[in-house]
């Protein structure tokens, strides 16, 4: 696009954005980022990009949280390809998107959302050129926009806003060639593919042409110019409803229509107060549901009616202001009509503020004076401070609670943040406080159980998991956690039932299948374990944990060569040093069984170099004994016992070596310990021979 004004202005504007948000790029992922980014396997392969456009389940790693925002997922996939789950890269993209939106606000502020034309058809500037730049700077630096910039999942808002504003910019250029019109239609498509609320452009774009009091537009002209937009919008809506792409987007009826109306009537006044005095920003606003008419509801309704009256009556006098107010109303309309769990949030004012800033040069003589500079400096400082609040989940939710958030959600999220920070007792207190607010929801019970579970109090954890299921029996996560707790407590049959119920609720959870395979192996069912691990690999892609588990299942069935292939697959993908050491130990054992002695020794030595383990020393002892190197076998088995004194295989081997050396008393002690720990016929036979020899 052609930049307006002096060449240094766009550079300074981008510089201001980078200055204000420079400390945001080191921030963390937050709540919805966990399921849509961190646990979303779909974004980890560029080959999945075509699937983003046809499968809403690709939006999330959790079943039932799908949304049709394919272009957003493309940006996530590109981020992941470059730097995987390093949050800095995701935040850098968010900052750059905000910078681009600020440039578009500047360009539109130079001519207005409803540009005026003289009798010759030339556009009329709506204010001093410097005023448009300052308006864009106010948008770029306003702290009310820190949520969509700092919260990675809010990229849907800034990405949609980028194409939303670009569509307005291209549409208002009064193009003389078809290429610009085609560009506007393309950006409309991109906006819709970023976030569904861009559909309001279908109402805003015709208003642009109808709002100019100096120009009459015929129905034929409207049809020619806007017909392609309406066709695009109609096809988009038809696709969403025909494919049921709106079916799992979290739009379930959470309150009745009357309560929704009475509640959202208050929202515009609240949003305007946030923009005017951005000192009470919060991730969880103290904004309550209204189920009856109150003075606040009456005031909110009066404000909305006043805005509509001014917009209609003031069209000729203040065309830019009135049109911007209508744009803001259109932007807020979808979330006002559809009942959502979150009543208000700051990302919803992103385009509202953009519209107001675009209109401001026609009303205010904004210049670089002392007061303006002071305002920009103050906004920058508030934004930098707000970025620090968004730095970690703990700082974010502590700030929300300190600002008066008393909702169940805020307290539960504070508990999660405290739990992740290792402040166990404070986390427990937060969960109990959340339950005192609402004792009918299972996630707080589940989180409380997880804290107990991680602390080793498995019996208490099982009790709280069961309480969680009483209130939320359809939560797969609770069944999964309970299955693991049962397994750790030794109740394997109960664990199987919990795993099976979890899989009924979410059969596309690869981690769940992997853990189920681990249980089946522990129950000596390698055949079904193999199937579980193969399903985990199908869902998760090539990961070290399920590939290693598959190797263990195949090895237990005696399919050693296939096990070797599975272990090598596990080693070929990214894994931690400890994971690689474990996999190499398992690979060494399978190579040893397939009589590949040299390769087995190499794998086991590498495993021990990476991370010494009792298992690797045990296998090295067996390999040494097979080659009749009893000294090396003795050394490795001793090392194995020093690391883990509960392993009966090295105890059996040590007992046999000590017996061969003539120390029958020590050999008897070792073998008896091995038998107590579960050793079988070999240890028992060795002990019988020692006892028979002692009697003679």
Summarize pLDDT for 197-219 with one digit per residue, the tens: 999 999 999 988 887 655 677 78
| pLDDT at 122 (0 to 100) | 53
Spatial CB neighbours of 623, under 8 Å, sequence gap ≥ 6: 588, 592, 597, 600, 601, 604
Domain boundary among 361, 378, 395: 378
Domain assignment present for 151: yes
By mean pLDDT, which of 357-371, 531-545, 601-615, 617-631 is the weakest? 357-371
Q: Is 639 helix (H, G, I), strand (E, B) or coil?
A: helix
Using a pLDDT cut of 70, give the percent of the chain over it. 93
Whether 491 shows a pLDDT value over 90: the answer reads yes
Is-contact 431 397, C-beta < 8 A? no
Whether 651 shows a pLDDT value over 90: the answer reads no
Q: Is 124 helix (H, G, I), strand (E, B) or coil?
A: strand
Q: What is the average pLDDT across 44-51?
A: 93
Nearest Cα to 211, choosing from 114, 97, 318, 300?
114
Is-contact 465 471, C-beta < 8 A? no
- Using the CB atoms, write b or e for 74-94: b if 16+ within 10 Å: bbbbebbeeeeeebebbbbbb
The domain total for the chain is: 2
Q: Is 375 helix (H, G, I), strand (E, B) or coil?
A: helix
Domain assignment present for 444: no
pLDDT bucket at 671, cuts 50 / 70 / 90: confident
Can you name the residues that pair with 116 across neighbouring β-strands? 124
Q: Could you give the angle at which helices 393-402 and 408-420 cross, rounded to 10 degrees?
A: 140
| pLDDT at 553 (0 to 100) | 95
By mean pLDDT, which of 371-380, 384-393, 401-410, 600-609 is the weakest? 401-410
Is-contact 327 350, C-beta < 8 A? no
- Burial degree of 490 (CB within 10 A; 0-12, 13-18, 19+): exposed
> Using one digit for the tens of pLDDT, what is the confidence trace for 206-262?
988 887 655 677 788 788 888 999 999 999 998 888 776 664 444 445 788 889 899
Query: Who wins on pLDDT, 371 or 249?
Result: 371
| pLDDT at 80 (0 to 100) | 96
Domain assignment present for 199: yes
Token reading at 677: 């720990």
Domain assignment present for 158: yes
Token reading at 528: 């079904």
| pLDDT at 64 (0 to 100) | 75
pLDDT bucket at 406, cuts 50 / 70 / 90: confident
Domain boundary among 348, 378, 408: 378
Query: Who wins on pLDDT, 97 or 343?
Result: 97
| pLDDT at 685 (0 to 100) | 86
| pLDDT at 652 (0 to 100) | 87
By mean pLDDT, which of 81-85, 376-380, 689-693 is the weakest? 689-693
**Residue at token pair 């026609």:** 362
| pLDDT at 251 (0 to 100) | 41
* Segments forming the whole domain that contains residue 133: 15-243+263-378
Is-contact 344 285, C-beta < 8 A? yes
Whether 504 shows a pLDDT value over 90: the answer reads yes
By mean pLDDT, which of 138-147, 153-162, 465-474 is the weakest? 465-474
Is-contact 410 284, C-beta < 8 A? yes
Using a pLDDT cut of 90, give the percent of the chain over it. 55
Domain assignment present for 96: yes
Domain assignment present for 285: yes
Alpha helices in 151-245 (DSSP H): 155-171, 178-194, 201-211, 219-242
pLDDT bucket at 3, cuts 50 / 70 / 90: very low
| pLDDT at 677 (0 to 100) | 84
Whether 111 shows a pLDDT value over 90: the answer reads no
Whether 561 shows a pLDDT value over 90: the answer reads yes
Domain assignment present for 132: yes
Whether 391 shows a pLDDT value over 90: the answer reads yes
> Using one digit for the tens of pLDDT, what is the confidence trace for 283-299?
999 888 898 999 999 99
Q: What is the average pLDDT across 78-87?
A: 95
Q: What is the average pLDDT across 660-681?
A: 85
Domain assignment present for 168: yes
Residue 566 CA neighbour count, 13 Å, CB half? 23
Q: H or E segment at 189?
A: helix 178-194
> Using one digit for the tens of pLDDT, what is the confidence trace for 427-458?
999 999 998 988 888 888 999 999 989 888 89
Gyration radius of the chain's alpha carbons: 32
| pLDDT at 175 (0 to 100) | 55
| pLDDT at 667 (0 to 100) | 83
Domain boundary among 378, 404, 423: 378
Q: What backbone torsions phi and psi does residue 123 show, to the nearest 5 degrees?
A: -65, 140
CA end-to-end distance (rounded Å), the chain? 102
| pLDDT at 212 (0 to 100) | 66
Q: What is the average pLDDT across 307-336?
A: 84
């Amino acid at each position: 696009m052609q930049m307006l004004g002096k060449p240094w202005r766009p550079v300074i504007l981008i510089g201001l954005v980078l200055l204000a948000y420079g400390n945001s790029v080191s921030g963390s992922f937050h709540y919805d980022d966990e399921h849509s980014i961190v646990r979303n396997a779909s974004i980890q392969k560029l080959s999945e990009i075509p699937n983003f456009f046809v499968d809403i389940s690709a939006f999330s790693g959790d079943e039932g949280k799908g949304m049709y925002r394919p272009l957003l997922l493309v940006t996530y996939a590109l981020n992941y390809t470059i730097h995987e789950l390093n949050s800095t890269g995701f935040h850098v993209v968010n900052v750059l998107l905000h910078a681009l939106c600020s440039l578009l606000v500047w360009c539109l502020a130079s001519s207005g959302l409803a540009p005026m034309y003289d009798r010759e058809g030339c556009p009329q500037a709506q204010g001093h050129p410097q005023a448009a730049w300052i308006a864009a700077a106010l948008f770029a630096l306003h702290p009310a926009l820190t949520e969509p910039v700092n919260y990675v999942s809010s990229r849907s808002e800034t990405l949609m806003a980028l194409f939303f504003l670009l569509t307005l910019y291209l549409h208002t250029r009064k193009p003389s060639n078809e290429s610009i019109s085609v560009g506007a239609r393309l950006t409309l498509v991109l906006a819709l593919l970023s976030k569904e609320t861009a559909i309001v452009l279908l109402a805003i774009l015709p208003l642009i042409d109808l709002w100019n009091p100096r120009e009459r537009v015929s129905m034929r002209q409207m049809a020619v110019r806007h017909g392609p937009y309406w066709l695009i919008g109609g096809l988009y809506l038809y696709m969403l409803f025909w494919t049921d792409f709106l079916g799992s987007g979290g739009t379930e009826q959470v309150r009745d229509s009357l309560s929704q109306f009475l509640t959202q009537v208050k929202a515009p006044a609240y949003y305007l107060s946030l923009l005017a005095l951005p000192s009470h920003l919060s991730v969880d606003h103290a904004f309550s549901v209204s189920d009856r008419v109150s003075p606040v509801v009456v005031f909110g309704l009066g404000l909305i009616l006043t805005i509509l009256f001014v917009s209609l009556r003031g069209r000729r006098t203040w065309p830019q202001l009135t049109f911007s107010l209508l744009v803001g109303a259109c932007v807020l309309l979808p979330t006002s009509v559809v009942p959502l769990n979150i009543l208000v949030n700051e990302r919803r004012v992103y385009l509202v503020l953009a519209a107001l800033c675009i209109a401001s040069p026609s009303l205010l003589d904004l210049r670089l004076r002392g007061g303006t500079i002071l305002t920009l400096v103050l906004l920058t400082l508030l934004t930098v401070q707000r970025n620090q609040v968004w730095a970690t989940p703990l700082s974010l939710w502590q700030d929300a609670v300190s600002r008066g958030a008393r909702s169940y959600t805020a307290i539960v999220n504070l508990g999660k943040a405290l739990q992740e920070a290792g402040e166990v007792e404070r986390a427990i207190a937060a969960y109990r406080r959340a339950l005192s607010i609402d004792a009918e929801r299972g996630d707080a019970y589940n989180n409380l159980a997880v804290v107990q579970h991680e602390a080793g109090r498995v019996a208490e954890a099982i009790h709280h998991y069961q309480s969680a299921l009483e209130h939320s029996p359809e939560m797969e996560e609770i069944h999964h956690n309970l299955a693991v707790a049962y397994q750790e407590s030794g109740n394997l049959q109960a664990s199987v039932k919990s795993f099976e119920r979890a899989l009924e609720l979410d059969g596309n959870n690869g981690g769940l299948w992997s853990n189920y395979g681990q249980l089946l192996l522990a129950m000596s069912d390698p055949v079904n374990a193999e199937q579980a691990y193969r399903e985990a690999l199908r869902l998760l892609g090539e990961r070290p944990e399920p590939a290693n588990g598959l190797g263990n299942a195949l090895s237990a069935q005696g399919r050693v060569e296939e096990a070797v292939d599975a272990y090598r697959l596990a080693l070929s993908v990214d894994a931690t040093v400890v994971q690689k050491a474990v996999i190499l130990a398992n690979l060494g054992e399978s190579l040893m069984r397939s009589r590949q002695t040299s390769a087995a020794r190499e794998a086991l030595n590498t495993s021990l170099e990476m991370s010494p383990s009792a298992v690797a020393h045990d296998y090295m002892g067996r390999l040494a004994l097979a080659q009749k190197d009893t000294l090396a076998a003795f050394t490795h088995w001793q090392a194995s016992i020093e690391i883990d004194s509960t392993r009966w295989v090295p105890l059996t081997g040590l007992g046999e070596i000590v017996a061969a050396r003539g120390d029958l008393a020590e050999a008897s002690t070792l073998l008896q310990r091995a038998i107590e720990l579960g050793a079988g016929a070999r240890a028992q036979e060795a002990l019988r021979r020692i006892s028979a020899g002692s009697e003679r």
